[in-house]
Structure 1
């Protein structure tokens, strides 16, 4: 199992962007997982805000290692034809392992944040039955950020087996998942005894992303508020 994780990380690591203080101190780390459209500039807005709070941030690109372009991803991943959440969960686990090996990271203080498809992948990992050697890899995860997670058809309905305090950011006008669906998706996390803080943005799905098209719309004010809330949530739980 660990051998497979190492192989996955070897493929991912050349395409992981690191944002944070320019030092070698072992700092708490936040791993960011993009939506189905791939890495876009808004993730680096989040990364810079988190880095300003002394956190080391890793933006994990799942497409570049596979040679996938944004048009390809929009046509296949965003439509559910390829690379669904359960498959990408392996990237999340590999990234946790790889980042934890770094001397400039405190592996006991990690957070994971995902947007749409990225949050779906995190959810799938948390509900998956893992062998003991992999289970221990997630022990340092102290907080989760789930931003307009995809929780629609095909997403897991299984109860979470592990977790951490979570900030769930839903959108009032999300055409992919209603706020009620979001609440149901995270109910098993609450059943495990973890705090689930929810913020309902008066916006559409992907409200913080550039270049979105109808029915989605970028909302600058909501995007700024989302960044602030996520940074404060992680700083409080990783400090």
Structure 2
């Protein structure tokens, strides 16, 4: 089983950083893709973070494991491998690794997760960090006090997310974006989860976007449809969320 250090060593060569061209410590947002892997919408959010004065780190969970899109669509997206409570170790390792960079302010970290990525963040927030949990040997070695905000974009809160109603152990600011026509959850189910997070002491803003699951990905696949206008609104809200987080620190 990986230690956090070993997991970060695996992930780091595949992480893409987008941010201002300087070396001063800045706020950082870590972006975690959905079950379909890296798609072209995450760089747009990274650029929005850069424009807001943040450093964005796009974390690829598949490249380091040698997995291609065809494999992950048939295994991760179907729940056969790397469920959210296992990928939570990637989230922890990235928090620890990025926080140690001299060009990052470790007291001002945000997490952003899309679908499976949001599920993984939620599992990390709710799981007891005992040795061996979340797929890493030493999960308790990560200090979450610097995690100030979490952006959840149509996070997976369906049948495989067994811990979706489990209380969080840390209470950052949260913006939870639910798609009105999401085929993986009802708005009612998502709002129940949001209410649980709110009951843990977190400030939770809930936005029901008028679109399908993955509406901000520039592709149409099955019940998922790209909506350029709603995507622009999501990018605007993401930018405002980061700016407000930094201003209230």
Tell me the TM-score normalised to structure 2 length.
Answer: 0.92
Q: Does 1:169 align with 2:168?
A: no
CA–CA distance in structure 1, aligned partners of residues 195 and 4 of structure 2: 29
Q: Spell out, residue by residue over 1:165-189, the C-alpha distance to the aligned partner (whole angstroms, 9 max, x if none).
A: 1000001100001111111112222
Instruction: Answer with 158-167 or 97-106: which moved more.
Output: 158-167
Structure 1's 94 and 144: CA in aligned 2 closer, same or farther, altered over 3 A?
same
1:115 aligned residue = 114
Question: 1:144 is matched with which residue?
Answer: 150
How far 1:194 sits from its partner (Å)? 1.3
**Deviation sequence 1:82-132 (CA, Å, 0-9, x none):** 110000000000000000010000000000000000000000000001259
- CA–CA separation in structure 1 for the residues paired with 2:139 and 2:230: 40
Aligned to 2:53: 54
**Once superposed, which parts of structure 1, at least 4 consecutive aligned residues long, lie more than 2 Å away?**
131-136
Per-residue CA deviation, residues 185-239 of structure 1 (Å, 9 max, x unaligned), is: 1222211221110111110000001223121100000011001101111121124
Residues 216-227 of structure 1: matches in 2 within 5 Å?
A: 216-227=224-235
Matched, 1:11 2:3: no
CA contact (8 A) 2:96 2:142 kept: no
1:8-47 map, 5 Å: 8-47=7-46
Partner of 2:194: 186
Instruction: Tell me the secondary structure at the aligned position of residue 206 of structure 2.
Output: strand
Q: CA deviation at 1:135?
A: 6.3
The number of aligned residues is 238
- The answer as to whether partners of 1:24 and 1:103 remain within 8 angstroms in 2 is yes
Partner of 1:99: 98
Secondary structure at 2:3's aligned position in 1? Answer: helix
